Amino acid sequence: MTIRTAKFQIGDIVRHRIHPFRGVIFDVDPVFSNTEEWWLSIPEEMRPAKDQPYYHLFAENAETTYIAYVSEQNLLPDDSGKPVAHPQIGMVFSGVENGRYVMRNSQAN
């Protein structure tokens, strides 16, 4: 299996290309790294390939916020210029700079 370079980076604001949600990336897996059960729960005609980057998002839609796990093929850059209103963003990011979220400095205990 060939591992591709991720198109998006931690802190990027993205939107789903089909479903009405957007979010900020807080982690990247070089290839699919969730359960087989999760992958099989996606309808076969929409099921993305496993050999691509997958992104963990602090996601939001019109009703709620949540954590999403999305294949690279299903993400597009979000150019709305609006911040993401997920309550956990402040735990990982310190703010937005040049259209991207900036990670907090990690401090050793």
The answer to whether residue 4 sits within a structural domain is no
Half-sphere exposure of 33 (CA within 13 A, CB side): 10
Report how many domains make up the chain.
1
The answer to whether residue 8 sits within a structural domain is no
**7-56 pLDDT, tens digit each:** 999 999 999 999 999 999 999 999 999 999 999 999 999 999 999 999 99
Structural domain for 45, as ranges: 13-103
The answer to whether residue 69 sits within a structural domain is yes
The CATH number covering residue 48 comes to: 2.30.30
Task: Report the distance separating Cα 93 and Cα 35, nearest Å.
Answer: 27
Q: Give the dihedral sign, CA 37/43/3/97.
A: negative
Please state whether beta strands 13-16 and 22-29 pair in parallel, antiparallel, or not at all (unpaired). Answer: antiparallel
Binned at pLDDT 50, 70 and 90, residue 63 comes out as very high
Binned at pLDDT 50, 70 and 90, residue 108 comes out as very low
**What are the C-alpha distances in Å from 61 to residues 15, 20, 31, 51?**
10, 6, 25, 27
The answer to whether residue 99 sits within a structural domain is yes
